[in-house]
Structure 1
Amino acid sequence: MSSSTLSSRIDASVLTAIAPRPPKAKAARQAAIIAEFGKMLPALLLQFGATTALRIDHLLAQVAHESDGFCTTEEYASGAAYEGRADLGNTQKGDGKRFKGRGPIQLTGRGNHRQFTIWLRKIIATCPNFETNPELVAIFPWAGWAVFFFWSTKALNALADRDDLVAVTKIVNGGRNGLDDRAKYLAKAKNAVAKLMADAIDAAQKFTSIRRGSIDFERVEQLQRALAAAGHYLLTIDGHFGPGTEGAVKTFQRSRGLTADGIVGDKTWGGLAPYFEKELA
């Protein structure tokens, strides 16, 4: 699947797969955010180069955490803790509350709202002045644009390429706050995006692909034995397609000039064929 094709398939259904089941009081708001943000994602992901699986995975994981599982576009706290924060551009009395976190990625501070306005007016000349009207950052479509303002100006695609959750989190939140929760969302995002990719592969090939989490234990065992024979990868032959097997698949794919997505489709099966002990079932 090409990067542009992948980004075009990231929509509300993917967000729903990542999102937790909310309390009843938050359900309607979550559904509205997922619907609105989902509509914007395909075009914005493509426009700002967040088109690979890892870039999409990390972006969605961070947004999911910052938005309380897509349940809010406004920070629950008052913002008083940001009062006087010169690093956020909060130089006037009341700036802490006035410029508290808004948007799915919680854009915070007068300075960021000013820079967001400057940035977006180069794309949409008639957009609002968010320094004057910060509350609009919590409303779509501006809330969606705010995500990509932050993501692109902080060059987070490069960190996502390294699969470096700690580094991405430090830029988004200034430290390791909520790292465990972000890791859980990242795992869910990786699974949802990998499923999209596997489904697309299956539609275009004669063999059903397998990927991390596949429960075809016999075929996974066969895969593991072939990988071990092909490159002496250190694998436990257990029939479970976990992170170790996925890493070995990616290593093998890179060695053969294939797309290193960890999904075992026709081309990967073909490359491993000489190492199988028996014919594919």
Structure 2
Amino acid sequence: MGSAKGMLDAARSDIGLAGRPNKFTRAYAKEHGNEFLRAPWCDMAITYWARESGNEKAVLPGGDRAYTVWHAQDFQKADRWFKGTTDNVNKAEPGDIVFFDWGATNSTGAIDHVGIVEKVLGGGRLQTIEGNTGDAVRRRVRSSSVIAGFGRPNYDGKEPPPPSRPGTKAPKWPGRYLTQPPIMSGDDVRTWQTQMKKRGWRLTADGRYGPRSEEVCRSFQREKGLKVDGVVGPQTWRQAWEAPLT
């Protein structure tokens, strides 16, 4: 039986390891092909530590991963995913697997990097251990601005998955499609922007539907399996309130 402590002990033991190929890329290449010998290895390190500490089932719900997007989506499918809002980040726990997007969105499809939570610092900040950061295993301090979300492994094998968090009933659709260009403005835009901010998306609720609002809309539509057109119509409006907060 694994544990968060075991996972963290495995990661701590490799702090300072640098360069490639290394033991992570060699182990992954042995299982999956030599093209991984010099590939980016942040998630290979997570896979290695999980296997070394007996935490494969908890940390790797979809199997070995070198691709961070698929790994995050594995946690989503297991209903063990938390979007990287400041409130959520403050509730993270040591041993959680944390995913980063340097483009500062909360979209799993945009994830660039992964690490493990070592300590929760408050104020939307985490101390992490990460592989392939400066081509080495290092401790880092990260803020919610670059945290796309985190997965919570079921280390003891007994904890039930956290429940999906259903939204509330959406207000009536305002009757016009929010799109740009030209930039639209109004209280309906501000209402939608405010709700998207509550869901963890980073944008300003200024009542102006500009390029950033459209970018968030497209990412949200992609996440929820909606038609991706960047337009807030009746379905996208309703899902902003009623879709589960994954």
Q: TM-score, normalised by structure 2?
A: 0.27
**Higher fraction of helix:** 1
Larger Rg: 1
Which TM-score applies when normalising by structure 1?
0.24
